[in-house]
Amino acid sequence: MIFTSELRAPAHGYETAADGMAELARQQPGFLGFDSARGDDRVGITVSYWSSLESIRRWKDVLEHREAQAKGREQWYSWYRVRIVEVQREYSFGQEAGR
Amino acid sequence: MIFTSELRAPAHGYETAADGMAELARQQPGFLGFDSARGDDRVGITVSYWSSLESIRRWKDVLEHREAQAKGREQWYSWYRVRIVEVQREYSFGQEAGR
């Protein structure tokens, strides 16, 4: 799942909530990992990996996550875009530290 | 296509080359757009959108792009990972400025 967003300025409480959501996601069945980056223009991309479309659907419906989604729309994000994607193939160069 | 990478420090000439590659990508058949973010930890994610797997294959083989890929491995990236993905569905909140 690709989550692209722009944060408002300020976005009070966002960092703490984002850390909490990352921790919560780790506990979900089917969660495989995620990568995240946000630049100085406040545009961020988070890609999370899941074992199935069903596991993504369940994650979307987890109560605490639903509350965070609502707060995101009300307080944190100017806009966001969610793309559900299926990995066709992958290749890499070098070794990610600690992964 | 999802391109996740970590930049070495320093990565001389990277910014200029990245701008050049974005401009070159825009000229390719099948190119639909891209999003990019890189945080203070030097980890970046670029997602580029293409009309077909074939257009991604052709982009990978464009000569100037191949040269940049080689330079990336030699000079700029500690590691990178490429995932070819297919968008299943998407939804959004709010309006991205200038898009």
What are the pLDDT digits (tens) for B28-67?
999 999 999 999 999 999 999 999 999 999 999 999 999 9
Mean pLDDT in residue range A53-74: 98
CA angle B76, A92, B14 (to 5 degrees): 15
Quick one: pLDDT band at residue A68, thresholds 50, 70, 90? very high
> What are A6's strand-pairing partners?
A43, A79
Mean pLDDT of B12-36: 97
C-alpha separations of A64 from A20, A50, A95, B6 in Å: 10, 19, 34, 31
Instruction: Name the least confident of A3-7, A32-36, B49-53, B95-99.
Output: B95-99
Interface predicted TM-score of the whole assembly (ipTM), two decimals = 0.94
Amino acid at B6: E
B5/B78 Cα distance (integer angstroms)? 8
Residue A99 in this model has a pLDDT that exceeds 60: no
- Span A28-43, mean pLDDT? 97
What is the distance, to the nearest Å, from the Cα of residue A88 to the centroid of all Cα atoms in its chain? Answer: 20
Contact of A6 with A77, CB cutoff 8 Å: yes
Average pLDDT over residues A16-45: 97
pTM of this structure: 0.95
* Residue of B34, B42, B93, B95 best to disrupt the A interface, most CBs of A under 10 A: B93
A92 and B CB contact within 8 Å: yes
> Rounded distance, CA B38 to CA A7, Å?
14
Q: How would DSSP label each residue in A6-73?
A: EE-SS-TTHHHHHHHHHHHHHTSTTEEEEEEEE-TTSEEEEEEEES-HHHHHHHHH-HHHHHHHHHII
Question: Quick check: B70 contacting A, CB < 8 Å?
Answer: no
Facing A39 at nearest CB: one of B37, B72, B83: B37
Local confidence band at B99 (pLDDT 50, 70, 90 cut-offs):
low
- Eight-state DSSP code of residue B74: I
Which residues of chain A are within 8 Å of residue B7 when distances are taken between CB atoms? none
Mean local confidence (pLDDT), A69-93: 97
pLDDT for the residue B97: 72
Contact B92 A77 (CB under 8 A): no
Residue B75: beta bridge partners?
none
